[in-house]
Structures are given as C-alpha cells and as structure tokens.
C-alpha cells in the first residue's frame, strides 16, 4: 500500500450531483488535510483535521463538506458544485498535531474533478 | 499574508547540466520549507524538508539551501537527467501558532531535461 491513497482518481459530475472523494493514509499520521490545486492559483489549503477533529476551515464554501471518521480516513463530500470548482483535490497527512508545522506533509495522487 | 515566488517559471536544459531553482518568500517567520516534485496529472512527492534552524539538506543529486533571514531557498540539481523533468514546487510552513499543516506554495518551476 502506498502512503496516501485517494479515490477516485478522476470524477466528472453535474452541478446537481452529490459525490464524495476518499482519502486513506497508511503512515500512522495524526493529521490529514485537503488541498485544492486549480489551474490559475497556487495550491490552497481547504481543511485540516488533527486527531479526527477539524481544526481549520479555510473559508471554504459549504458545498464542500469534509468528514474524518478516524485518523486514517478523510472524505470530501461534494454537492451542488459550480464549474469553477473543477480542480485537482489533493489529500495529505503529517505526523504532528496541534499548532505549528505538524512535520513533513505527504500527499496523495489527487482526485481530478470536472464539474459540467 | 505569506507570498511564495518561484523563478524561473519554466526551464529547459540538456541532460547533464547542473541546475538551480529559486524560491523566495515574503515573511521570514517560517517553521520549515519543503520542496516537492509533481509529475503531470500526479500528486506531490516530497523531496526535501529544511527546518528553519537548518541551512541545507541533501538527498542524492539534490541539495536545498535555506537563507531564512533573506527569505530565500534554492534547489540545486546536479547532473540533470530526463527523468528529472517535472514541476518543482516550493512551500513554506508558517511559524508556531499558525494553523497546523498550512503550507504556502509557489506556482512552481516546470523543468524539462532533454536527452
């Protein structure tokens, strides 16, 4: 198993659909993250979970809903998205908790989302 | 707000050359700096992590330096190979007290090494 696994790798959805992105880490880390990479901007932090508790919601619209049932799994639930939400969504994990850097971040391969 | 700039945006070189990729950041109060590699359509692979107290890190043909006071880092790639072709991203982590795991990324340097 690779360190951080994301599924699906590609997703096409209409604006009225509901879908979910899944992330699983096999590194024994305590923190997990969702980052967004769009064509016109640098990578942006969306959500942070530390020991299954959300510690950051970086002004992300409510049509994105994260869920972290345990320290190994992270979901991003998607509903009524807009075409401008099309991007590569990257999951990451790191060893640390609390404030500060949290240690080195390890990323998954990403889920390429296209909203029609 | 922390701003990270990477120069050049793109670089195309013949195989065997030694390369220097540059990264600058506006706020020197960083906790660490990380260099990543991203292949087309793929996720990010961590290359090197430099803590704010360190001056450089080395891994194989890669060497990264950090001058925190001047807000600069360089990634040196020795004896480049076609397999090094990828986008290289620089990211800084804010100092303690900031949000866990918040990295500020540059836009990357797209490197092409031709045979």
- Kindly report, residue by residue over A3-51, the tens digit of the pLDDT: 999 999 999 998 888 999 999 999 999 889 999 999 878 899 899 888 7
pLDDT at B70: 95
pLDDT at A103 over 80: no
Q: For A76-99, how does the pLDDT look when each residue is reduced to its tens digit (9 = 90+)?
A: 999 999 999 999 999 999 887 554
**Cα diameter, chain B:** 47
Name the closest residue on chain A to residue B40, using Cα atoms: A109
Q: What is the DSSP letter of A13?
A: E
- pLDDT of res. A34: 94
> Looking at the complex, does the CB of residue B5 fall below 8 Å from at least one CB of chain A?
no
Asked whether residue B8 carries a pLDDT value surpassing 60, the answer given is yes
Q: Does B50 touch chain A (CB under 8 A)?
A: no
- Which residues of chain A lie closer than 8 angstroms to B31, CB-CB? 100-101
Q: How many CB atoms lie within 10 A of CB A78?
A: 21
Mean predicted confidence (pLDDT) in B31-58: 92
Q: What is the pLDDT of residue A86?
A: 95
Mean pLDDT of chain A: 88
Residue of B nearest to A57 (CA): B99
Give the mean pLDDT of B98-107. Answer: 78
pLDDT of A109 reads: 94
Res B98: pLDDT: 58
Per the prediction, chain B carries an average pLDDT of 92
CA separation, residue A63 to residues A14, A16, A40 (Å): 13, 11, 21
Torsions phi, psi for B41 (to 5 deg): 70, 10
Contact list in B for residue A58 (CB cut-off 8 A) is 99, 102
Torsion of CA B33, A10, A23, A28, to 10 degrees: -60
What pLDDT is recorded for position A2?
67
Residue B29 Cα to chain centre, angstroms:
17
**Residue B97 banded pLDDT, cuts 50, 70, 90:** low
Determine what percent of chain A is predicted with pLDDT higher than 90: 63
Rounded to a whole number of angstroms, the distance from the CA of A3 to the nearest CA of chain B is: 11
**Closest CA–CA distance from residue A15 to any residue of chain B (Å):** 23
Query: What is the arithmetic mean of pLDDT over B25-40?
Result: 92
Q: So what's the pLDDT on residue B99? A: 62
Please tell me which residue of chain B has the smallest CA distance to A50: B100
pLDDT at A25: 96
Q: What is the pLDDT of residues B64-75, one digit of tens each?
A: 999 999 999 999
The partner residue sitting opposite A97, judged by closest CB among B49, B89, B100, is B100
A31 vs B97: CA distance, rounded Å: 16
In terms of CA atoms, which chain A residue is nearest residue B46? A106
Q: Could you tell me which residues come within 8 angstroms of residue A64 by beta carbon, excluding any fewer than 6 positions away?
A: A46, A47, A76, A77, A78, A85
Quote the tokens at residue B115: 């045979």
Q: How many CB atoms lie within 10 A of CB B58?
A: 12
């Amino acid at each position: 198993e690779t360190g951080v696994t994301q599924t699906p790798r590609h997703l096409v959805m209409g604006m009225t659909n509901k879908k979910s992105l899944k992330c699983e880490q096999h590194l024994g880390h305590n923190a997990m993250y969702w980052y967004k990479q769009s064509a016109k901007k640098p990578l942006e932090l969306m959500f942070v979970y530390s020991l299954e508790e959300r510690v950051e919601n970086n002004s992300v619209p409510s049509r994105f809903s994260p869920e972290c049932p345990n320290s190994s799994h992270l979901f991003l639930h998607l509903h009524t998205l807009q075409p401008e939400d099309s991007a590569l969504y990257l999951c990451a994990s790191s060893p640390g908790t609390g404030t500060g850097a949290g240690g080195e971040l390890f990323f998954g391969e990403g889920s390429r989302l296209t909203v029609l | 707000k922390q701003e990270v700039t990477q120069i050049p945006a793109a670089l195309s070189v013949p195989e065997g050359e030694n390369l220097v990729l540059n990264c600058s950041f506006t706020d020197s109060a960083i906790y660490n700096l990380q260099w990543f590699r991203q292949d087309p359509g793929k996720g990010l692979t961590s290359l090197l992590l430099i803590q704010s107290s360190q001056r450089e890190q080395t891994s194989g043909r890669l060497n990264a330096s950090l001058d925190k006071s001047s807000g600069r880092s360089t990634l040196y790639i020795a004896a480049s190979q076609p397999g090094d072709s990828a986008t290289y991203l620089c990211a800084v982590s804010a100092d303690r007290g900031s949000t866990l795991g918040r990295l500020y990324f540059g836009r990357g340097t797209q490197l092409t090494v031709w045979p």
